[in-house]
Amino acid sequence: MHEELQNKAKMAKEASRGLAYISTNEKDNALLAMARALEENSSEILKANAKDMEAAQQKGITGALLDRLRLTESRISAMADGARELAQLPDPVGEVLTAWRRPNGLEIGQIRVPLGVVGIIYEARPNVTVDAAALCLKAGNAVLLRGGSEAVNSNIAIANIIAKAAEKSGLPVGAICILEDTSREAVNEMLKLNEYIDVLIPRGGAGLIKAVVENATVPAIETGVGNCHVYVDEDANLEQAKAVVVNSKCHRPGVCNAAETLLVHRKVAEEFLPDALDKLRASGVEVRGCSETKRIVEWVKEATEEDYANEFLDLIIAVKVVDNAKEAEEHIYRYGTKHSESIITENYSTARRFLQRVDAAAVYVNASTRFTDGQQFGFGAEIGISTQKLHARGPMGLKELTTIKYVVYGEGQIRD
């Protein structure tokens, strides 16, 4: 048995009992205290982050991965602001969803309650430490954090600072716990700690999510893998389509809601592709296309079967010319990850068909896939984007970090 994991999971479980009925005011005060503590202790966080940055550079980590690891004063302020914004959001706990009276006089209600202990397993993004802890606390949950080894010093410093601030403001000890051991053995045991952990949420790449979903006995919510498509229909506004395609691919190519494949109806391919692909190339995108795409735009690289299945998370896009909307839907069914899919069309019937037949957490008509985000949807924040169908789907905000409880009022009724 892993001693640190057992002790911290047990502390979190005990803390979750008190958090379940703590007042909204107490939770909000704790979030504000956490925000202040982050800013007041920014020099300590930056020192810890410098150690992680140095170790990462020695390992040869570069580019976007190194940038995700890097913390600055402004990024710490943004983390603090995120906690403050959560304090302004409505508390989901205790919300009455529905209520009714039975013929025998029983009054039955359905209310929101916390999940309990949420385990978060994430990779080299120190800001997730604050985001996850703050979201879980606002929804009345204790949180057990396990970050990646690349950010271990940053994560420990941040978690200790916000945990101390939360405790000083009156939250139970153990409300925020971080697993300092980043070994695979500790994670493997965490995946099976049903006694203490109520749900696991992995945040990271496809490999991490696959490992958690396949090996956990604790219920897990599958998040994040996004092989997203934009389909340009024969009835599309082509100028609008170009803008949506470029935004979907280029706005932030390293995130899960960025488009990875462009599908184009054969009837508009000759007109649409030359200028659209030039615009992508001007933004630094490497284009890999089918034979028809290459015939129309000679400089395009040849796409492989693997390209259509790939989540590039980079300035690369796969392109395919299709005969009709049905072929586009079939392509998405075969290669998609049920994250975010978009159709560009002015044809109402085609749009309705696409919405009905494409199975994804978010399906768009004439809009960028980049909008699949808790803040963009008006949730204020998110803990991840679920691509499964139970218990949550799409951007997961505060409400998705709760479950339901039935409360039943009687006057001595007994069942016949």
Going by their DSSP bridges, the two strands 402-409 and 107-114 should be labelled as antiparallel
Residue 124 pLDDT: 78
Do 233 and 366 fall within a single domain? Answer: yes
Is position 293 within any domain? yes
Same domain? For 317 and 203 the reply is no
The pLDDT of residue 307 is: 98
Contacts of 162 (CB under 8 A, 6+ apart): 34, 37, 38, 83, 129, 130, 133, 134, 176
Distance set, CA 171 to CA 5, 17, 29, 37, 160 (Å): 21, 11, 10, 15, 14
Burial 1-34 (b: 16+ CB within 10 A, else e): ebeebeebbbbbbbbbebbbebeeeebbbbbbbb
% the chain with pLDDT above 70: 100
**Same domain assignment for residues 122 and 242:** no
Mean pLDDT, all residues of the chain: 95
Residue 143, CA distances (Å) to 2, 136, 159, 216, 351 in order: 18, 6, 11, 17, 41
What's the pLDDT tens digit per position in 325-359?
A: 999 999 999 999 999 999 999 999 999 999 999 99
Joined together, the tokens standing for residue 232 give 């340009």
185, 245: one domain: no
With 80 as the cut, is the pLDDT of residue 380 above it? no
Q: Check whether residue 179 and residue 321 sit in a common domain.
A: no
- Per the structure block, which two tokens stand in for 83? 């906690």
Q: Mind listing the pLDDT tens digit for each residue in 71-95? A: 999 999 999 999 999 999 999 999 9
Same domain, yes or no, for 270 and 348? Answer: yes
CATH number at residue 359: 3.40.309.10
Count of domains for the chain: 2
Residues 206 and 232 grouped into a single domain: no
Q: What's the one-letter identity of residue 356?
A: Q
Q: Is the pLDDT of residue 376 over 80?
A: yes
**Sign of the dihedral defined by the CA atoms of residues 332, 338, 340, 342, in that order:** positive
Q: What is the pLDDT of residue 347?
A: 98
Q: What is the pLDDT of residues 98-123, one digit of tens each?
A: 999 999 999 999 999 999 999 999 98
CATH at residue 63: 3.40.605.10
> Would you say residue 251 lies in a domain?
yes
Same domain assignment for residues 129 and 272: no
The confidence score (pLDDT) of residue 1 equals 61
- Same domain flag for 238 and 331: yes
Statement to judge: residues 239 and 120 lie in one domain: no
For residues 256 and 341, membership in a common domain is answered with yes
- Judgement on whether residues 236 and 215 belong to the same structural domain of the protein: no
Domain membership of residue 254 (yes or no) is yes
In a domain, 380, yes or no: no
In the chain, the percentage of residues whose pLDDT exceeds 90 is: 89
Among 211-215, 357-361, 388-392, the range with the most confident prediction by mean pLDDT is 357-361
414 inside domain: no
- Our measurement of the distance from residue 320's CA atom to the centroid of its chain's CA atoms, rounded to an integer in Å, reads 28
User: Is the residue at 416 inside a domain?
Assistant: no
pLDDT 10s digits, 12-67? 999 999 999 999 999 999 999 999 999 999 999 999 999 999 999 999 988 777 88
pLDDT band at 159 (very low <50, low <70, confident <90, very high): very high
Asked, for residue 376, whether it belongs to a domain, the answer is: no
CB 321 within 8 A of CB 292: yes
Residues 6+ apart with CB under 8 A from 129: 145, 147, 154, 155, 158, 159, 162, 178
Q: Please report, as a single letter, which amino acid is at residue 44.
A: E
Boundaries of domain holding 345? 228-371
Contact criterion met (CB below 8 Å) for 131 and 158: no
Lowest mean pLDDT among 177-181, 194-198, 208-212: 208-212
Segment 165-179, tens digit of pLDDT: 999 999 999 999 999
Residue 147 CA to residue 75 CA, distance in Å, equals 18
For residue 415, tell me if it sits in a domain.
Answer: no
